[in-house]
Amino acid sequence: MSILASFMVPHPPLIVPDVGRGGEKQVETTIRSYEKVADEIAFLAPETIVITSPHATLYSDYFHISPGKGAKGSFANFRAPQVRFSEEYDEELVGKISEIGKKEDFPCGTLGEQEKELDHGTMVPLWFIRNKYKGGKIVRIGLSGLPLTDHYKFGTILQRAVNALGRKVVIVSSGDLSHRLQDYGPYGFSPEGPEYDSRIMDVMGRGAFGELFDFDEAFCDKAAECGHRSFVIMAGAWDGKKVRVATFSHEDVTGVGYGICSFYPEEGEDPERKFLRIHLEKKEKELQKKREDADIYVRLARLTIETYIRSGKKIRVPEDLFLLTGDGEEIPDALLHTQAGAFVSIHKQGMLRGCIGTIGPTAKNLAQEIVNNAISASTRDPRFDPIRESELSWLEINVDVLGEAEDIDSMDQLDVKRYGVIVSTKDGRRGLLLPDLDGVDTPEEQVSIAMRKGGIQKHEKYFLQRFEVVRHI
């Protein structure tokens, strides 16, 4: 096994004495744990230290690996320019990771570096490590906006690249825990904060990496966690391997959670620790059940998307609707004889993959409205690349049929669970947000998001409307 060990560590700059200027004393427990990590890495004497950092170059749909021969950095942004680093990259390992990713059509590589200098998510761990161990090159890897399953898969690619080169490697998974643990913390307090820290320390402390997939995106956002995706990449690097875990510490004195654990390989393979395969098999069964239970509105959207992605052809209404019926089922009258605005929302692995809709009717009937918007949501949402055929079996689809909008005087007349909102200006700009969305808990949040979508500034005069929807899943 070429991966010698991995470590889960935080990255608060204040922990570095020249930055903290005495403030680091409040996190002495974390400092002592970090010293142990550095001692263990020095003892292992790795040829390469792989660091995954939330503050390295990040893209929504791509894992960036820092290119070139090396990079420099300092804590100048934290009033300590005298603390400097000059690191050499392991170009051969970077190349092997990129090569495997390219062969498997996985979105990772060295394209599009935004900032060459080392980030603090990389430098804080290096500060402790370089005080004890000067050897070894590094590989610096950023996270992405892709699903957790893709972060885990990237970890498996990292594992194979390391094994292919026979490199002696240590992985440092850099990431703070929740930033919402105390009222005086950087983001204030949220009950999800302490819950996240308790759960993540339990999961990592047991090496129960499959449970990392159970952390809902909305929950993680409310907890304002930093390192979850970093930890998932590390977990993927241990796919199918038995590991020995040690929990060094968890500390919360700054309103931010700092957790430190170590992971060492044990002898033998363990098929029950092929967590990605197990998760995907379970998810596939759940999705199949959803497809079987879906009503005709969702089946219409799915048929539209699958037909268009596979053949480029648009299904015909009403001629092709017979493909959706069976066992004497009839097409609902509303689909063919009413008009309404509709939204088609597509998710993959719990993350939005496309959402396009119409506030009011634009087609001759509701069925055609759904067909048009399903094609747009899957191929024309400017936030995403068009859906690929390989993704079709993993899609979850909702159809929201909009009721008539009514004018309201204030946010007091909104209910985020019941009503969607439309925010408009006199010059025709308009933003809409559907009701009952994960992570949207107050009318103020709902209106703020709708305003951003419509390009409306807070100081501008705007008008509010609310509407109800019938959600088909």
**DSSP per residue over 315-368, as a string?**
PPTTGGGGGG--TT----HHHHH----EEEEEEETTEEEEEEE-SS--SSSHHH
pTM, to two decimals:
0.88
Rounded Cα gap, residues 362 and 139, in angstroms: 52
Give pLDDT, residue 132: 98
Contacts for 325-333 with beta carbons within 8 Å, 24 or more apart? 325/296, 329/296, 331/296, 331/367, 332/296
Q: Which residue has the tokens 């000067």?
A: 134
Q: Are 317 and 374 in contact (CB under 8 A)?
A: no
| Structure token pair of residue 23 | 């403030």
| Structure token pair of residue 169 | 């490697």
Partners of residue 407 on adjacent β-strands: 465
Q: How confident is the model over 297-314, as pLDDT tens digits?
A: 999 999 999 999 999 999
Rounded Cα gap, residues 434 and 420, in angstroms: 4
Q: Are 237 and 217 in contact (CB under 8 A)?
A: no
Rounded Cα gap, residues 73 and 87, in angstroms: 9
* Radius of gyration (C-alpha) of the chain in whole angstroms: 25
Rounded Cα gap, residues 20 and 176, in angstroms: 17
Beta-strand relationship, 351-357 and 342-348:
antiparallel
Residues of the chain with pLDDT under 50: none
Give pLDDT, residue 413: 96
Give me the domains of the chain, ranges plus CATH numbers: 3-278 (3.40.830.10), 289-472 (3.30.700.20)
Give pLDDT, residue 1: 55
